[in-house]
Amino acid sequence: MIGIEKEGESMLAEAKINVELDVSSIKKYIQQKIDEQVKESLFLVDVDTLCKKCSMSRRFMEEEFLNDPRFKLIEKRKARKRFYYWEEAKEVIEEIINEW
């Protein structure tokens, strides 16, 4: 509130501010920033991490994605452990999903 003096009287003027938020734009911006951070922080992922990132069970991931020849091409193995470059894996997952 702003105080204004007028001929010995104290008058108070009210300032009202109305703020409208575009929730979908805010969510989109936040998701973009999260994706940027994840992209910078993930280099290699294993099967368990893929399952978590995609919100899929291990069985579904195996049946729908990991047995696909495109996934086999990007697979890196060390002993019995399988790894994938995150960016390549993401692209292959998108390709397969787009075919559903």
Confidence (pLDDT) at 41: 63
Residue 10, strand partner residues: 5
The DSSP code for 95 is H
SS3 96: helix
pLDDT tens column, 30-82: 998 887 776 666 688 889 989 998 899 999 999 999 999 998 898 888 888 98
pLDDT tens column, 82-99: 898 888 898 999 999 999
Among 5-9, 21-25, 32-36, 68-72, the range scoring the smallest mean pLDDT is 5-9
Is the C-alpha dihedral spanning 73, 88, 61, 44 positive or negative?
Answer: positive
